């Protein structure tokens, strides 16, 4: 069960981590990424286009075309991927969806969610994708 991110964002994070785990010059076709991550090709293609529009990955055209990271993995933070796909509203809104939830008018879980939300935001903002290369490779080999 996902608590914070959409399925699209989860897949986007997986795709970026997968690209970061590969050799820096490896250009990967969408069907290879989809197969390795077990995500429908059409869905992966749309996600990768969103990430390209936000400057996180690049697409290469031609016979040996595909996708590659747009910059060094130590320059891409997890929060960049989340922002590109889901936006950052989840870190500013009520987890229960109450429109007027605030510190002055809190919902039932406002204080506890606020702490978790801040911790999640800080972790995503502090960590760059290069820090997850080995764990990503290990996870992929278990599939």
pLDDT tens digit sequence for 87-135: 998 888 888 888 888 889 999 999 898 898 899 999 999 989 988 877 8
pLDDT band at 78 (very low <50, low <70, confident <90, very high): very high
Please name the fold of domain 7-142: Arc Repressor Mutant, subunit A (1.10.10)
- What percent of the chain has a predicted confidence (pLDDT) above 70? 96
**Residue-level pLDDT at 138:** 76
Whole-number Å distance between alpha carbons of 34 and 25? 19
Exposure of 13 in the CB half-sphere (CA atoms within 13 A): 18
**Residue-level pLDDT at 1:** 35
Share the mean pLDDT of the chain.
89
User: What is the residue extent of each domain of the chain?
Assistant: 7-142
pLDDT tens digit sequence for 24-43: 889 999 999 999 999 999 99
**Ramachandran quadrant class, 102 (left: phi over 0; alpha: psi -120 to 50; beta: rest):** beta
The pTM is what? 0.86
Alpha helices in 22-109 (DSSP H): 30-37, 41-53, 78-85
């Amino acid at each position: 069960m996902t608590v914070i991110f959409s399925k699209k964002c989860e897949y986007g994070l997986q795709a970026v981590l997968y690209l970061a785990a590969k050799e820096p010059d490896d250009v990967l076709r969408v069907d290879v990424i989809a197969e390795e991550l077990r995500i429908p090709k059409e869905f992966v293609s749309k996600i990768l286009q969103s990430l390209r529009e936000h400057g996180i990955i690049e697409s290469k055209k031609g016979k040996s075309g595909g996708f590659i990271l747009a910059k060094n993995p130590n320059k891409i933070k997890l929060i960049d991927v989340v922002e590109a796909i889901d936006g950052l509203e989840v870190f500013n809104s009520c987890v229960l969806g109450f429109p007027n939830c605030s510190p002055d008018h809190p919902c039932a879980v406002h204080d506890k969610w606020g702490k978790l939300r801040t911790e999640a935001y800080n972790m995503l903002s502090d960590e760059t994708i290069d820090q997850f290369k080995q764990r990503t490779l290990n996870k992929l080999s278990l599939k």
